[in-house]
């Protein structure tokens, strides 16, 4: 495709039909939209980026960044309370200064926002338009009274919280990820509804900061989808931090009385009640497809599953692509960015890159963290792949012992009889960092035999991965010796 040179100024074409169609028009300035706009502009494309709320999207304002910043404060406090176990006497640790924790979070957010400022985007040749975008046809969008035409478009409008249908909840009031980071006062007590990554992370964080915290999850284990032993460790960790855990639990009614929320829940069929100051819901996300007039552009979508895309991220309109939470089951920032980059190649450069070819790790940032990449055992078996798993408990890893981080494990799944990595789950204090080693090996097509030969800095927790690789090599070598003996 021949790209027209990009505009030198981001001044919106107010009140008029834009004279030249943009090579790429991007709706949504979250991680997906920003990554696509930047890559396309750097390649010389004429790019427009439309944002209705704030640049940075859910990740920066109401997701990854505020949550991880607060979790850091909570972890520090937990470590300080545990200091005596390390021979450090810190009397009267007390609770957090919640206002100061939130102030730090806002400073961190502002600092990161500078990277994505409107001025910076302008400098990169991206025409930023603020307002809610709506399709008016198969090749044009209206935003704040301006009609913009495009050769190719990317819908990267992300997701919004899925709200539970609970009697009285609306009237009693509740928090979601869109409001919890605006709190100025630590709730004395908090009920978290939902035991996915968001619920588990924030339940542990608020408990550590000093709230009496309850978590209610409708299934028998937290983190649906993760391996059972990993989810079990998260359960133990939350309990250790004083979170009241309710599994197989459904909240059926909420009633406001005397400024507090009276909760009726049913656990394993048995009703019970409790009273809390705040309720935080985190039961899932819905793709943000409303108000886009996708019908006018011929883009098929489903209110629950989002925009329909093929493996090349094309929608049912060949000019329009989608990326990130609005179309993908795996709703993570790294997935949003990676999918957006695929769109730039496929939409502007006739690429044929497939979403299914990506290797995407993810992590739940509880303490210990739970990280995963590739296939789970059940998925490999469903595909008829024979699996062998090599497990190294963190209590066998020298650096984990010196750090007092013995909770957790590294589990690597390979195709049985080979060193080919299928997937891995890591539970540990820095599981999110460790999983990157395995992702790297998988992307590079490196088997466990080569990984076993990679000398790691000593002592590091990353050695757990090498130890798992060595276990695989020993097992393969022993198998070869047996075969040799039997055939000799």
**Residue 337: both structure tokens together:** 């960015």
Restricted to residues 283-302, the positions that interact with ligand FAD (CB under 6 A) are: 288, 291-292
Q: Which residues contact 37 (CB under 8 A, 6 or more apart)?
A: 24, 26, 29, 47, 49, 121, 126
Confirm or reject binding of residue 439 to ligand FAD (CB under 6 A).
no
Q: Is 52 in the site for ligand FAD (CB under 6 A)?
A: yes
Q: Does 125 bind ligand FAD (CB under 6 A)?
A: no
> What DSSP string describes 386-455?
-EEEEEEEGGGSHHHHHHT--S-EEEEEEETTS--EEEEEEEETTHHHHHHHHHHHHHTT--HHHHHTSP
Q: Which is nearer to ligand FAD, 37 or 77 (CB)?
A: 37
How many CB atoms within 10 Å of residue 295? 10
- Shortest CA distance to 121 belongs to which of 54, 23, 21? 54
Q: Does 133 bind ligand FAD (CB under 6 A)?
A: yes
Judged by CB under 6 A, the residue of 25, 38, 58, 283 near ligand FAD is 58
Letters for 371-390 (x = contact with ligand FAD by CB under 6 A, - = none) are --------------------
Smaller CB separation from ligand FAD, 324 or 408: 324
Cis omega before residue 141 (within 30°)? no
Residue of the chain from 116, 140, 151, 158 that contacts ligand FAD (CB under 6 A): 158
Shortest spacing between CB 30 and ligand FAD, in angstroms? 2
Within 10 angstroms of residue 419's Cβ, the number of other Cβ atoms is: 21
| Sign of the dihedral through C-alpha 179, 181, 183, 185 | positive
Total residues binding ligand FAD (CB under 6 A): 37
The Cα 221–Cα 47 span in angstroms is 45
User: CB under 6 A: which stretch of 21-29, 221-229, 232-240, 301-309 binds ligand FAD?
Assistant: 21-29
Asked if 210 and 246 count as a contact pair (C-beta separation under 8 A), the reply is no
User: Which one among 18, 159, 369, 437 touches ligand FAD, defined by CB under 6 A?
Assistant: 159
Candidates 53-61, 222-230, 295-303, 449-457; binding stretch for ligand FAD (CB under 6 A): 53-61
Pairing verdict, β 320-322 and 146-155: parallel
Of these, 190, 307, 336, 476, which contacts ligand FAD (CB under 6 A)? 336
Long-range (24+ apart) CB contacts under 8 A made by 299-304 are 299/135, 299/155
331 binds ligand FAD (CB under 6 A): yes
- Tokens for 428? 């540990």
324 contributes a contact to ligand FAD by CB under 6 A = yes
Task: Give yes or no for residue 49 binding ligand FAD (CB under 6 A).
Answer: no
The single residue among 10, 23, 28, 441 that binds ligand FAD, judged by CB under 6 A, is 28
Is residue 29 a contact residue for ligand FAD (CB under 6 A)?
yes
Per CB under 6 A, 183 contacts ligand FAD: no
Strands (E), 282-368: 285-287, 301-302, 306-307, 320-322, 362-364
Q: Residue 365 or 390: which CB sits closer to ligand FAD?
A: 365
Q: Which of residues 84-123 bind ligand FAD (CB under 6 A)?
A: none
Q: Which residues would be at the binding site for ligand FAD (CB under 6 A)?
A: 27-33, 50-53, 57-59, 63-64, 67-68, 132-133, 156-159, 177, 198, 288, 291-292, 324-325, 331-334, 336, 365
């Amino acid at each position: 495709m021949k790209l027209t040179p990009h505009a030198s100024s981001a001044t919106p074409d107010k009140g008029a039909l834009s004279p030249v169609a943009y090579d790429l028009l991007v709706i949504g300035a979250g991680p997906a939209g920003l990554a696509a706009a930047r890559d396309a502009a750097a390649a010389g494309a004429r790019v427009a980026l439309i944002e209705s709320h704030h640049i940075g999207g859910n990740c920066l304002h109401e997701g990854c960044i505020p949550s991880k910043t607060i979790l850091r404060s909570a972890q520090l406090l937990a470590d300080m309370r545990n200091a005596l176990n390390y021979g450090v006497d810190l009397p009267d640790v007390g609770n957090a200064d919640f206002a100061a924790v939130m102030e730090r979070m806002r400073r961190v957010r502002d600092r990161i926002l500078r990277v994505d400022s409107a001025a910076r985007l302008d400098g990169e040749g991206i025409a930023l338009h603020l307002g809610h975008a709506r399709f008016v046809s198969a090749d044009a969008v209206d935003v704040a009274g301006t009609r913009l035409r495009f050769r190719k478009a990317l819908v990267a409008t992300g997701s919004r919280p899925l709200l539970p249908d609970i009697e009285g909840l609306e009237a009693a009031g509740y928090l979601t990820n869109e409001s919890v980071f605006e709190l100025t006062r630590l709730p004395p007590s908090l009920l978290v509804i939902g035991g996915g990554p968001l619920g588990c992370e924030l339940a542990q964080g608020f408990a550590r900061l000093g709230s009496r915290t309850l978590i209610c999850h409708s299934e028998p284990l937290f983190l649906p989808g993760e391996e059972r032993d990993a989810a079990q460790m998260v359960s133990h960790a939350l309990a250790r931090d004083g979170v009241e855990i309710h599994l197989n639990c459904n909240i059926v009614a909420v009633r406001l009385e005397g400024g507090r929320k009276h909760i009726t829940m049913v656990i394993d069929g048995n009703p019970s009640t409790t009273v809390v100051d705040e309720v935080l819901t985190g039961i899932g996300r819905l793709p943000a497809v409303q108000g886009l007039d996708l019908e006018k552009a011929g883009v098929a979508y489903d209110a629950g599953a989002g925009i329909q895309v093929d493996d090349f991220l094309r929608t049912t309109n060949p000019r329009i692509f989608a990326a990130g939470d609005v179309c993908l089951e795996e709703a993570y920032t790294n997935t949003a960015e990676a999918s957006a980059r695929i769109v730039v190649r496929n939409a502007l450069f006739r690429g044929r890159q497939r979403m299914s070819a990506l290797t995407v790790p993810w992590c739940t940032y509880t303490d210990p963290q739970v990280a995963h990449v590739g296939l789970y055992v059940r998925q490999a078996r469903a595909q008829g792949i024979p699996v062998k798993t090599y497990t190294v408990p963190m209590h066998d890893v020298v650096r984990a012992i010196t750090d007092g981080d013995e909770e957790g494990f590294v589990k690597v799944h390979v195709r049985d009889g080979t060193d080919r990595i299928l997937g891995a789950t890591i539970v540990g204090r820095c599981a999110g960092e460790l999983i990157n080693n395995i992702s790297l090996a998988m992307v590079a097509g490196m088997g466990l035999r080569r990984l076993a030969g990679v000398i790691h800095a000593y002592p590091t927790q990353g050695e757990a991965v090498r130890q798992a690789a060595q276990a695989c090599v020993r097992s393969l070598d022993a198998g070869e010796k047996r075969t040799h003996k039997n055939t000799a």
